[in-house]
Amino acid sequence: MTFLLRMGANAIAILLIAYLLPSVLSADGPMAAIAAAFVLGLVNAVIRPVFVLLTLPVTVVTLGLFLLVINGLMLWLVSAIVPGLHVSGLSGAVIGSLLISVISWILASVVP
């Protein structure tokens, strides 16, 4: 059940960012945002831990700031997989992933 709540919060966050900042992230519609949220959940559950483990030395040297780049790369991967989601480069992916994290955290804290 918590996966569905997180997926819904991520879908709302993607739609909100696509509406407010179309130069960073754009979604072709609500179904694209829901598909992107689902794929983002799967990518964060399967691929991200392996990627974090492989880049652990760089993450330690940068005092954890490289995790922002990893989150951006995961969002960029999702935009390559989902046809209706478009991200404007790596910097847009990093900014978009940071905003998605903040908005979904706020939404998840509101819903018990």
Q: Which pLDDT tens digit goes with each residue over 36-81?
A: 999 999 999 999 999 999 999 999 999 999 999 999 999 999 999 9
Q: What is the pLDDT of residue 1?
A: 66
Residues whose CB falls within 8 Å of the CB of residue 97, separated by 6 or more in sequence, listed in order: 68, 71, 72, 74, 75
Q: What is the pTM of this model?
A: 0.90
Residue 3 is encoded by which pair of tokens? 């996966």
Query: Alpha carbon 51 to chain centroid distance?
Result: 15
- Tens of pLDDT, residues 7-34: 888 999 999 999 999 999 999 999 999 9
Choose between 112 and 105: higher pLDDT. Answer: 105
